[in-house]
Amino acid sequence: MSELEYAKRGLVGVLTPQANTTVEPELTILWPAGVAMLNARLTSPKKTIEERLIDYIDRAEESLDQFANAPLQAVAFACTGASYLLGLENETALCERIEQARGFPFVTAARAVTDSFKTLGAKKIGLVSPYPSSLTEASVAYWQSASFDVIEVANAYKDSGEFHPIYSLQADSSVAALNSLEEKNIDVIVMLGTGMPTLQPIIDVANWTGPPVTSCMLSLAWRTVLHVDNQTPSAKKFLSWTKGEDWSARLAVHHPRV
């Protein structure tokens, strides 16, 4: 069966950083019935994370050519770090330019997270960061530029010497960082990046006493599906995403706990 046959609801294109091992598995779990995806890779020969991120955003429009004339209803840009370095104003201009030229919404993970904050009426936010300090600082500046108060940052970064410090993180690496924010005076927590696994930690705290928890991957899927369905954001429906009401059963199938 082809992706088009699966796509009873809509076909989504996804742009994923070249070595990212998390985007496709998590989106496979998050997409509701009838949403299918085509994935293409963002590539760069540069050596540092920051240089690659700049390459990804500079070549975003070129990367879209990988989809040729596939009948896409939206494209999800699954690379949050590039948005921090581009800046909110330039990112907005890029998304508008692509939508006008290509005829479909270009949904960045960072703008999707911003939309989820606005949908909840959140002002005070907490971050769980898998990034090195320089990228965490760029992230904080991005959210502040969008008029959110970053109250707490919990660090989940670990350079274990694996092939990539972010993509090598296991889901339990973020648990302690997430738990440290439970009692803080914040409106919502976001687990940053599209490389750190986030779905199991989100389910683990779905009924805790702390604030709602989202992630760049969760917000990206949520906002993209709204475009596919031509719906406006709703706090009630977004909170159902944070509790895994549609996708937690698929998570249990794909990643059963022993």
Is the pLDDT at 56 greater than 90? The verdict is: yes
Q: Give the pLDDT score at 166.
A: 53
Q: Is the pLDDT of residue 101 over 70?
A: yes
Confidence of residue 158 (pLDDT cuts 50, 70, 90): low
What average pLDDT does this structure show over 87-114? 97
> Does the pLDDT of residue 171 top 60, yes or no?
no
The pLDDT of residue 167 = 46
Mean pLDDT over each residue of the chain, to the nearest integer: 91
Tokens describing residue 21? 């091992």
| pLDDT of 174 | 78
pLDDT in tens, 13-27: 999 999 899 999 999
Rounded to the nearest 10 degrees, the angle between the axes of helix 133-145 and helix 49-58 is 40
List helix spans (H) across the chain.
3-6, 23-30, 49-58, 60-63, 80-86, 88-102, 109-120, 133-145, 175-179, 199-204, 216-229, 235-242, 248-254
Whole-number pLDDT of residue 87: 97
Whether the pLDDT of residue 204 is over 50: the answer is yes
pLDDT at 170 over 60: no
**Percentage of residues in the chain having pLDDT higher than 90:** 82
What whole-number percentage of the chain has pLDDT above 70? 90
Tell whether the model's pLDDT for residue 165 goes beyond 90: no
Phi and psi angles of residue 12, each rounded to the nearest 5 degrees, phi first: -115, 135
Centre a 10 Å sphere on the Cβ of residue 212 and count the other Cβ atoms it contains: 22
Please check whether residue 196 is in contact with residue 166, taking contact to mean a CB–CB distance below 8 angstroms.
yes
- Say yes or no to pLDDT of 7 above 90: no
Residue 154, pLDDT above cutoff 90:
yes
Query: Is it the case that residue 159 has pLDDT exceeding 60?
Result: no
Q: Say whether pLDDT at 2 is over 80.
A: no
pLDDT at 168: 43
In this predicted structure, the answer to whether residue 163 has a pLDDT above a threshold of 70 is no
Smallest CA-to-CA distance from 9 within 229, 185, 157 is with 229
Across-strand partners of 106? Answer: 75
Mean pLDDT of 85-93: 97
Q: Which of 60, 66, 14 is nearest to 38 (CA)?
A: 14
In this model, does residue 173 exceed pLDDT 70? no
**Residue with the two structure tokens 């990643």:** 255
In tens, the pLDDT along 214-229 reads 999 999 999 999 999 9
pLDDT of residue 177: 87
Phi-psi region of 68 (alpha: psi -120 to 50; beta: other; left: phi over 0): left
pLDDT at site 150: 98
pLDDT of 164 > 60? The answer is: no
Place of tokens 């991957």: 217
Q: Note the Cα 34 to chain centre separation in Å.
A: 20
